[in-house]
Amino acid sequence: MTTQEIIDKLPYGKSFLFVDELLHIDENGAKGTYTYAKDLPFYESHFKSYPVTPAVILTETMAQIGLVCLGIYLLENIETDQNISIAMTSNAIDFLKPVVPGEKVTITSEKVYFRFNKLSCKVKMENAAGEMVCKGNISGMLISKENG
């Protein structure tokens, strides 16, 4: 499966897709990028005089690249008749620097474990200068999708 095929399988619409490019993926982790467009609607109000990317969006970006893309890759190698997906179940993230409109970030994840239908990853986000923006752990569970 190619990196573009993995991105195409992500279950998000255009306005909630936080993956521009998947640079690398294997059974041990993933690495990808995203650039936060200056015209994203949340910048209007978060914050009015100094717009920054909300922490929940930073977490979602790390989850999409570091957990969901990796989960899709890992699931492709498991033979199953079920229509399954992966959903975030927990996270513990430390936020170190703000991310401003127009900024490009790189997310790297390292698989901690994948067993008993649970995937846990160590994730980090760096800005274009190579500075750590945030880091932590994100976990998710495989779930069956109803009605395929």
Helix/strand/coil for 127: strand
CA gap 80, 138 in Å, rounded = 24
The parent domain of residue 96 ranges over 3-144
Structure-token pair, residue 120: 């846990």
CATH at residue 25: 3.10.129.10
Structural domain tally of the chain? 1
Q: Which residue has the higher pLDDT, 125 or 82?
A: 125
Q: What are phi and psi of 121, to 5 degrees?
A: -135, 145
Query: Given pLDDT bands bounded at 50, 70 and 90, which one contains residue 147?
Result: very low
pTM of the predicted model as reported, rounded to 2 decimal places: 0.93
Q: How confident is the model at residue 118 (pLDDT cuts 50, 70, 90)?
A: very high
Q: Is the pLDDT of residue 122 over 90?
A: yes
- What is the mean pLDDT of the segment spanning 112-141? 96
